[in-house]
Structure 1
Amino acid sequence: MTVAVTGASGQLGRLVVESLLKDGNQQVVAVVRDPAKVADLAERGVEIRVASYDDPEALERAFAGVQRVLLVSGNEFSKRVDQHANVLHAAENAGVELLAYTSIPQAQANPMILAQEHTGTEAVLAEAKIPTTLLRNSWYWENYTGGLAHTVESGVLYGAARDGKVSGASRVDYADAAARVLTTDGHAGKVYELGGDTHSYAELAQVISEVSGKPVRYQDLPEDDYAAALAGAGLDAGYAAVLADADTGIADGVLTVDTGDLERLLGRPVTPAADVFRAALS
């Protein structure tokens, strides 16, 4: 069997390829825009095919002879629904047997800004001519590691999530789950709500304290103030607003996932936040 991963040079896509290589029972195709970024994968036997989400013909060529495709959601906001539709239609034309898509929890009722294009993509996939699987990934613990050293230094984890809780897991966990869907049967038509351990931000601050050995507390801010603080720290104002809006989503419970789907797909426990934070600090 041949499986393809789009966006295979990205953080999640590359990890999915790595997971597939560990399984070793299928030919792996990495679909990328820049083959130089995955030259090491080519040396390990991965077939590299070049295509962007904006090029339907190149996508169809990339999926030739492929049975299963993972569509890793793109990162060009405002363009993603059309781009994802291009991937779907190319997969249909190429005779792909299953397409899995990385979405967001409760996509059809999720009010977060980040969810909007996932909602639109899922509407496109609902009309697909081939079987699909929705992998509704919740938060990655890695989302908090970019500024982790500063959080430890300042002793304060800032956010706008109030006492809401977020169900997170490591990026590797989500990658392994996607690889499982690509390499086993019984997933056509399934919707998986994926999330791991559940923590409030106050609890995450305590986890950071434990792994760093330094006291860290959670400071809650109004959404607009948090967005302004993020912009003041150098983030693009639009992106800062999206992140602050995501925290409001956490406050409202839309990233709390208690289905157990992730552990069932993995066949193992999820990675604790402490392990991800400890690795980042080391």
Structure 2
Amino acid sequence: MTVAVTAAGGKLGRLVVEALLDAGERPVAIVRDPSRVADLAARGVDVRKASYDDPAALDAALVGVDRVLLISGNEFGKRVAQHTNVLRAAERAGVELLAYTSIPRADHNPMLLAAEHRGTEEVLATATVPTVLLRNGWYWENYDGAAAHAAQSGVLHGAMARGRVSGAARADYAQAAARVLTSAGHEGRVYELGGDEALTGADLASAVAEAKGATVRYEDLTQDDYVAALRAAGLDDQFAAVLADADARIGEGLLEVTTGDLTELLGRRATSAATVFAAAGR
């Protein structure tokens, strides 16, 4: 069985490829720039060049592929069309399974980040190949920069009120994807994936304090004030708005995941926030 991973040069894609290698597979890594994964090629990975905007290149990249992981792109406003290109290429290639990395509750999640995932899932519902949805929750690594700043300032800012976020390490989601790609019985499934910890802002501050050996408290801001704080930290207007919106939706419970799907796929507990924060910067 030949398994392909798109966006294999990115943080998640690389981890999925490595998990597949650890499982004894020889995956196909589909990337825009093969030079970014020269180390993977040296380990026996079949590296193929293609972008989400190039249907012909995608057709060539998926020749002989049995299963494919479509990792969601990062070009906001273009992602549904780009993901559709990958799906149609997978259909033409006759793949037996396509997995897609989505977001929790994508079908009714009002987060700004969810809109293109929802649009992609609607397209996938029309697919002529079997699909599986991996609705990945928050990566604890999303907080790495904030954690480092909070360890110095003593304050972790957010706008999540009393909401909880069920995060896990990026590698946890990668290993779960590798498990789905290399085992049977996943066709048509929707996995709502989140870690075993459901942390409030105060809990996150405590995890940062534990990991960094510092005193850290959580300070909750309004959504508008959080946007301003993120802008002051150097984020552009669009990204600041998206992150602040995500935090506000955490306050509404949109990223608290209680299904246990991730733990079931991993066969173990997900990695704790404190463990991820402690590893950051090493």
Q: Give TM class, smaller chain.
A: over 0.9
Q: Residue by residue, what CA displacement relative to the aligned partner does 1:96-144 show, whole Å, maximum 9, x if unpaired?
A: 1100000000001100000000000000000000000000000000000
Instruction: Give the secondary structure class of the aligned counterpart of 1:70.
Output: strand
Which residue does the alignment assign to 1:2?
A: 2
Q: Which amino acid aligns with 1:27?
A: R
Give the secondary structure class of the aligned counterpart of 2:145: coil
Q: Is the 8 A contact 1:148 1:281 kept in 2?
A: no
CA distance in 1, matches of 2:87, 2:94: 11
Aligned to 2:132: 133
Task: Name the CA distance, whole Å, in 2 between partners of 1:149 and 1:220.
Answer: 18
Which amino acid is the alignment partner of residue 205 of structure 1?
A: A
TM-superposition CA deviations, 1:57-90 (whole Å, max 9, x none): 1101101100000000000000000000000000
Residue 38 of structure 1 aligns with an amino acid whose one-letter code is V
Match of 2:77 in 1: 78
User: Separation in 2 of the partners of 1:198 and 1:69?
Assistant: 30
1:36-77 residue CA offsets vs partner (Å, 9 max, x unmatched): 000000000000100000011110110110000000000000
Q: Which residue of 1 aligns with 2:229?
A: 229
* One-letter identity of the residue aligned with 2:16: V
Q: With structure 2 as the length reference, what TM-score do the two structures score?
A: 0.98
What pairs with 1:103-252 in structure 2 (closer than 5 Å)?
103-196=102-195, 197-252=197-252
1:8: Cα distance to partner?
0.1
| One-letter amino acid of the structure 2 residue matched with residue 134 of structure 1 | L
Amino acid at match of 2:11: Q
Q: Distance in 2 between matches of 1:32 and 1:211?
A: 34
RMSD of Structure 2 on Structure 1 (CA): 0.7
Further displaced range: 10-19 or 200-209: 200-209
Which residue identity is paired with 1:173?
D
- TM-score in terms of structure 1 length: 0.98
Question: Contact conserved, 2:205 with 2:218, CA < 8 A, in 1?
Answer: yes
Q: CA deviation at 1:267?
A: 0.8
Report the equivalent of 1:272.
272
Partner amino acid for 1:11? Answer: K
Alpha-carbon distance in structure 2 between the residues aligned to 1:149 and 1:194: 26
**Retained in 1: the 8 A contact 2:99–2:133?**
yes
> How far apart, in 1, do the equivalents of 2:145 and 2:280 lie?
9
Code of the aligned partner of 1:260: G
The answer (yes or no) to whether the contact 1:212–1:281 under 8 Å persists in 2 is no
**Structure 2: distance between partners of 1:20 and 1:63:** 17
Aligned residues: 281
More strand by share: 1
* SS in structure 2 of the partner of residue 30 of structure 1: strand
Shift of 1:281: 5.1
SS in 2 for 1:166: coil
8 A Cα contact 2:29 2:45, kept in partner:
yes
> Matched residues in 2 for 1:40 and 1:212: separation?
32
Q: State the shift of 1:147 in Å.
A: 3.0
